[in-house]
Amino acid sequence: MKIVDLTHSVSPNMPVYPGTEPPVFITGCSIDEIGFLEKKITLYSHTGTHIDAPAHLIKGHNTLDLLPINHFYGPALMLDFDMFKPETIGVKELAPYQDKIKDVEFLLLHTGWSQYWGTEKYFSNYNVLSKEAAEWLSKFGLKGFGSDTISADTADTHDYPVHKALLRLNTIIIENLTNLLALPRNIFDFSCFPLNFEDADGSPVRAVAYIK
């Protein structure tokens, strides 16, 4: 079995969502002074490759710790939209894959945007689902939807229609994925286990694909 890491590294200088503070790493204990190394890490719950919980945008809905652990693991499919020019991916683009989508629990979209990680271009003009496509996708009962972009909605959104269409049915959203081209075009296993925070509106994850 081949294991593929789909996760960006967390560091103090990493890209973060505009307006969010970057992680802070403080060496609290050093081997020279204390005898062991330990760091204090401060970061927001939606830093780097991370999960959005339903409670992130819908008041009273599930936090990550209220979802069963098996919600973060299952069969997945990656669709490649790297050559797709319009920003919005609609129902007509997804419909040809519906027979495959119905057989998986996670759908991951490769837009090619992870190549701009660390640049200003990463934060705008990336591909997202249309509201109609998100609503169409929600009928499949997916555990999760992921992409290689900073957000599932456009940078100028105020109401987050794609997020809400998916999250209202407990389809978690995994953002800032990377290395998606290393995945096969057939079904593989996928996991995105969050940290076990109380009342978790989101969590950084180590997103991983398992290819047999």
The per-residue pLDDT for 209 is: 98
The number of CA neighbours under 13 Å toward the Cβ of 111 is: 27
Domains and CATH numbers, the chain: 2-9+45-211 (3.50.30.50)
Instruction: Using the structure block, give the residue that is written with the tokens 């989101």.
Output: 202
Give the number of other CB atoms < 10 A from CB of residue 55: 19
CA distance 144 to 161: 16
User: Which residue's structure tokens are 């683009």?
Assistant: 93
Residues in the chain with pLDDT < 70?
Answer: none
Q: Which residues contact 46 (CB under 8 A, 6 or more apart)?
A: 17, 20, 52, 56, 175, 201, 202
pLDDT score recorded for residue 147: 98
- What is the rounded distance in angstroms from the CA atom of residue 160 to the CA atom of residue 75? 27
**pTM higher than 0.85 for the full model?**
yes
**First CA to last CA across the chain, in angstroms?**
5
Supply the pLDDT for residue 83: 78
Where do the H-state alpha helices sit in the chain? 91-94, 98-101, 131-138, 161-167
As a whole number of angstroms, the distance between CA 104 and CA 119 comes to: 33
- Residue 85 has a pLDDT of 79
Mean pLDDT of the chain: 96
Q: What is the 3-state secondary structure (H, E, C) of 4-54?
A: EECECCCCCCCCCCCCCCCCEEEEEECCCCCCCCEEEEECCCCCCCEEECH
Residue 147: CB atoms within 10 A of its CB come to 28
pLDDT at 84: 78
Cα dihedral 25, 52, 143, 7 sign: negative
- Cβ-count burial 38-51 (b if 16+ within 10 Å, e if not): eeeeebebbbbbbb
Check if the beta carbon of residue 137 is closer than 8 Å to that of residue 107.
yes
